[in-house]
């Protein structure tokens, strides 16, 4: 039974496609459709394009040989921003966009380094989100630090495409091996070099001394660093140090270092990078090429982003009269046109039932008068049947009529009805090159809507009982050009069911990164309420200040003049009606400054489809620029077709569903399936009580910054990595609020109602161990009864002096008595200590420990990663150096030199 459940978990987490809508295809060993997008804020520079081409061309050959002649890069599309001048060789993009590019070129916020990295927060073998290069990295000669750009691109491509991880570890640069030697955290162990401490450095030359053993840990002192030999014979590994000329391969089963405490071993259960790569979908369906030489050079297409073109295609069929759907649609569409769509965009509108009508050809959004011309044509009556294809074709016509191309244009399709003929226009949709965002309203909306979004790279949303669902969906469809400072940001979206003659109060924090173009909107179902809004300095806005819509769609809007005051805004709503009614409050704004990125939040599920009982993962990313935001509350609300809501607190603790601690990616498993159909996702992120802060540490999953090399017996140092200024080191940020809507996902195989637990606790992934006197102290994050929910029933802890015995035969290793260990609630910190009985313990004795959790249904989690605890008796200070000298020839220590460059 346990085996079958582990198989379910493996298939779910490793084989199902992720949410990233990459356009890359692998055809006949060649990758086609890679998109490299340049951020609009990057100054125009032809050299940037030339260096990108050179990088990919070199990478293609390097990749070909590294994968044993299996894959190479055939075609790459470089997406150039609108901020660059138009040229005859630039083509119009189709569905390519900055937000969904495989590689982005953008300046970092708070410039403290140019390390190339991959945003990667899935499980082992899952694709990453994007590779990030800075313009400075691409334009500056960094070969001596990182190696050639082509090699770096392959290192990052392995992160992005195949879901492997780095084989070094900045936090654990060395460890004590099974042979009682100090070893660098690396793969392979054949890389040679020298481990030294730099006493004094000036002008690129340093005085060095041998590394000493730390008297408390038995490892090398913290200032010890590894300087590799420039000339090597080892071929592995690209995921460790691709900069060395000899390194041309990934670590295989034969050369993999299973002991190294790196992320690759932790995330992939000790598997080599080559094993993970060859088990990927790419390699399962690809054989080595017969040609010994690499294929022809990659071809490049230069695409220049165009102005945003959006056409609303809105359903006004008879069923839209139910549950105030037409009114809700109009409220949401109006909010989108006035508060969300970026200035300068071209917008058109089509309405449809059994026939379609172009209500507005494309109109450039410039001022309030333009908004009113479009909103005046929102439908006021609902009747007739549903012909989605006619609505889409009219949308294409509205775009073409204005001499714009449908290619790269966007259509927002909203419908609540079924249409058996929707598949008849699939081919027209493909040929159009348009991006179609779909909003399914209610449980009866056509099931094929998601197909339209999937085939065109558009968003997909579902809205039903949540009165604000449509507003939230429209708010999420912002520009995908990468111009974050121009995008609308939702601060609040709250529905309030208020009894007659009662008042309700609320607050909305406005932080200093936002405040431009700020709107407060109130809607009602029966009668306009009395409204009082107060800014942080005490200025009040009353009901008369809110502009009521002339179309009688039961909404009133206030645009705050100038820049909204920073601080907490308070509002008060009085229901003037005698009976209860539903009131809503929606607040949107934009960035305060074009040079300072605002705090943003995005959310998505790990996949678009789920089959009971397999879990999916909820992800929310909260960041300022590229910097993660930590120490906040992130709450996900998932709604079913019948209106049932499940609330989940998401965690960034590096345990359970969360891959990396403190990376600004908040995660949680979702298993509460209440029937089949569409599910919606909403996430609210809030920084409160001055606990929010930025993580200024360099991201994981990146190319190694090499401090220097040894050439002809001399140490040649690289420039130190830039340090973060002291005033930015803590980087606290004000209290803030962000609301975001994730794309919908579809559940199948679930019966109505709740179900008994059929899943075990999640695998423990953050186990730590150390000796204190005669006891081994363990700590880890508690798993749940079902994955990371609830609490486990008991723990199984086993210990061995042999790493391989514990790895290959866990069930027969020595069992630790855990009768006094009562599991805590999931997400809590567990601490446990025990004395290793039945073992002879002396100075230098090593133990290996691993843990399983068991739930109330007697289902057992996967075995945790294996950790090491060493009994080390500190020696007198004067004898420590001698011990260090005695073992100095057996090892090397990597990348721990705060004296030369900072580790954040």
Tell which residue, 95, 78, 92, 21, has the closest CA to residue 411.
Answer: 95
Q: Is 877 an active-site residue?
A: no
CB 38 within 8 A of CB 48: yes
Instruction: Write down how long the chain is.
Output: 904
Tell which residue, 698, 700, 685, 692, has the closest CA to residue 731.
Answer: 692
Report phi then psi at 708, rounded to 5.
170, 180
Distances (CA, A) of 571 to 218, 583, 765: 60, 13, 44
Report phi then psi at 19, rounded to 5.
-85, -15
Cα dihedral across residues 575, 577, 578, 580: positive or negative: negative
Listing DSSP states for 537-600 in one string gives: TS-EEEGGGSEEPTT--SEEEEEPSSSPPSEEEEEEEE--SSS-EEEEEEEEEEES-SSSPPEE
Report phi then psi at 372, rounded to 5.
-65, -35
CB 313 within 8 A of CB 391: yes
Tell which residue, 296, 260, 77, has the closest CA to residue 184.
Answer: 260
Dist CA 68 CA 287 (whole Å) = 10
Dist CA 327 CA 271 (whole Å) = 56
- Which of the 8 DSSP states describes residue 339? I
CB 900 within 8 A of CB 712: no
| Bridge partners of residue 716, in order along the sequence | 709
Report CA dihedral (191, 197, 203, 205) to the nearest 10 degrees. -60
Report phi then psi at 894, rounded to 5.
-110, 130
- Residue whose token pair is 């100095």: 888
Q: What 3-state DSSP class applies to 732?
A: strand
Task: Give CA angle at 165 (161, 169), nearest 5°.
Answer: 155
- Residue whose token pair is 């006493």: 199
Tell which residue, 348, 395, 555, 529, has the closest CA to residue 471.
Answer: 555
Contacts of 547 (CB under 8 A, 6+ apart): 556, 557, 558
Q: Given 156, 183, 404, 450, which residue is catalytic?
A: 156
SS (H, E, C) 472-521: HHHHHCCCCCCCHHHCCEEEEEEEEEECCCCEEEEEEEECCCEEEEEEEE
Distances (CA, A) of 186 to 232, 256, 261, 427, 866: 15, 9, 9, 51, 17
SS (H, E, C) 179-243: CCCEEECCCCCCCCEEEEEEEEEECCEEEEEECCECCCCCCECCCCEEEEECCCCCCECHHHHCC
Buried b (16+ CB within 10 A) or exposed e, 4-41: ebbebbeebbbebebbbbbbbebeebbbbbbbbbbbbb
CB 220 within 8 A of CB 212: yes
Residues identified as active-site: 156
């Amino acid at each position: 039974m346990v085996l079958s459940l582990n198989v379910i978990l493996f298939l779910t987490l490793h084989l199902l496609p992720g949410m990233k809508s990459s356009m890359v295809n692998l055809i006949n060993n060649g990758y086609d459709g890679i998109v490299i997008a340049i951020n609009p804020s990057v100054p125009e520079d032809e050299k940037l394009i030339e260096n990108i081409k050179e990088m990919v061309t070199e990478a293609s050959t390097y990749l070909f040989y590294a994968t044993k002649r299996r894959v190479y890069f055939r075609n790459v599309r470089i997406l150039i921003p609108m901020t660059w001048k138009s040229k005859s060789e630039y083509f119009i993009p189709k569905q390519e966009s900055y937000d969904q590019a495989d590689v982005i070129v953008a300046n970092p916020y708070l410039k403290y380094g140019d390390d190339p990295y991959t945003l990667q927060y899935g499980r082992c073998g899952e694709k990453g989100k994007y590779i990030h290069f800075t313009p400075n990295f691409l334009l500056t000669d960094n070969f001596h630090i990182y190696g050639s750009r082509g090699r770096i691109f392959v290192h990052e491509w392995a992160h992005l495409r195949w879901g492997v991880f780095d084989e070094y570890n900045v936090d654990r640069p060395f460890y004590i091996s099974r042979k009682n030697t100090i070893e660098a955290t690396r793969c392979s162990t054949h890389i040679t070099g020298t481990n030294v401490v730099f006493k004094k450095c000036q002008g690129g030359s340093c005085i060095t001394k041998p590394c000493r053993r730390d008297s408390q840990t038995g490892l090398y002192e913290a200032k010890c660093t590894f300087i590799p030999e420039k000339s090597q014979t080892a071929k592995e590994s690209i995921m460790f140090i691709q900069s060395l000329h000899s390194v041309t391969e990934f670590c295989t089963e034969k050369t993999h270092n299973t002991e190294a405490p790196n992320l690759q071993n932790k995330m992939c259960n000790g598997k080599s990078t080559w094993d993970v790569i060859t088990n990927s979908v790419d390699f399962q369906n690809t054989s080595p090429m017969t040609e010994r030489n690499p294929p022809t050079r990659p071809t490049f297409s230069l695409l220049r982003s165009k102005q945003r073109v959006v056409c609303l295609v809105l359903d006004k069929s008879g069923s839209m009269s139910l549950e105030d759907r037409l009114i809700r649609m109009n409220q949401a569409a109006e909010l989108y046109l006035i508060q969300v769509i970026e200035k300068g965009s071209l917008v058109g509108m089509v309405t449809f039932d059994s026939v379609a009508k172009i209500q507005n050809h494309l109109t450039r959004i410039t001022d309030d008068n333009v908004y009113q011309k479009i909103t005046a044509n929102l439908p006021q009556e609902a009747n007739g049947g549903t012909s989605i294809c006619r609505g889409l074709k009219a949308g294409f016509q509205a775009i073409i009529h204005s001499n714009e191309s449908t290619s790269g244009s966007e259509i927002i399709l909203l419908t609540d009805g079924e249409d058996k003929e929707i598949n008849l226009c699939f081919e027209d949709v493909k040929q159009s090159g348009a991006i179609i965002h779909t909003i399914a309203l209610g449980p009866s909306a056509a099931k094929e809507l998601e197909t339209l979004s999937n085939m065109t790279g558009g968003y997909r949303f579902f809205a039903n009982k949540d009165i604000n669902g449509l507003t939230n969906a429209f708010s999420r469809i912002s520009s995908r050009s990468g111009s974050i400072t121009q995008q609308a940001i939702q601060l609040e979206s709250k529905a309030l069911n208020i009894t007659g003659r009662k008042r309700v109060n609320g607050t909305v924090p406005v932080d200093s990164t936002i405040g431009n173009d700020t709107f407060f909107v109130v809607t009602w179902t029966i009668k306009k309420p009395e409204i009082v809004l107060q800014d942080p300095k005490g200025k009040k806005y009353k009901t008369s200040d809110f502009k009521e819509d002339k179309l009688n769609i039961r909404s009133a809007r206030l645009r705050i003049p100038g820049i909204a005051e920073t601080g907490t805004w308070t509002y008060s709503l009085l229901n003037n009606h005698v009976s209860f009614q539903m009131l809503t409050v929606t607040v949107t704004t934009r960035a305060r400054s074009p040079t300072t990125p605002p705090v943003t939040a995005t959310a998505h599920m790990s996949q678009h489809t789920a089959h009971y009982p397999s879990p999916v993962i909820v992800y929310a990313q909260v960041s300022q620029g590229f910097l993660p935001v930590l120490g906040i509350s992130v709450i996900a609300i998932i709604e079913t077709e019948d209106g049932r809501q499940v609330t989940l607190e998401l965690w960034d603790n590096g345990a359970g569903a969360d891959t990396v601690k403190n990376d600004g990616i908040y995660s949680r498993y979702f298993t509460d399936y209440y029937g089949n159909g569409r599910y919606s996702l909403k996430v609210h992120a809030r920084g409160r009580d001055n606990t929010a802060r930025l993580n200024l540490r360099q991201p994981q999953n990146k190319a190694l910054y090499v401090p220097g090399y040894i050439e002809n017996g001399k140490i040649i140092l690289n420039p130190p990595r830039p340090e973060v200024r002291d005033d930015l080191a803590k980087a606290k940020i004000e209290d803030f609020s962000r609301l975001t809507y994730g794309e919908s996902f579809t559940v199948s195989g679930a019966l109505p109602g709740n179900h008994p637990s059929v899943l075990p606790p999640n695998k423990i992934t953050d186990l730590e161990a150390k000796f204190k006197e005669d006891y081994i102290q363990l700590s880890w994050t508690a798993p749940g009864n079902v994955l990371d929910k609830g609490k486990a029933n008991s723990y199984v802890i086993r210990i061995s002096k042999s790493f391989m015995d514990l790895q290959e035969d866990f069930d027969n290793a020595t069992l630790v008595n855990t009768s006094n260990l009562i599991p805590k609630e999931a997400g809590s910190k567990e601490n446990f200590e025990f004395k290793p009985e039945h073992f002879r313990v002396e100075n230098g004795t090593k133990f290996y420990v691993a843990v399983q959790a068991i739930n109330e249904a007697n289902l057992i989690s996967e075995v945790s990663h294996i950790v090491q605890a060493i009994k080390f008796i500190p020696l007198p200070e004067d004898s420590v150096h001698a011990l260090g000298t005695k073992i100095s020839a057996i090892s090397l220590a990597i990348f721990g030199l705060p004296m030369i460059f900072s580790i954040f």
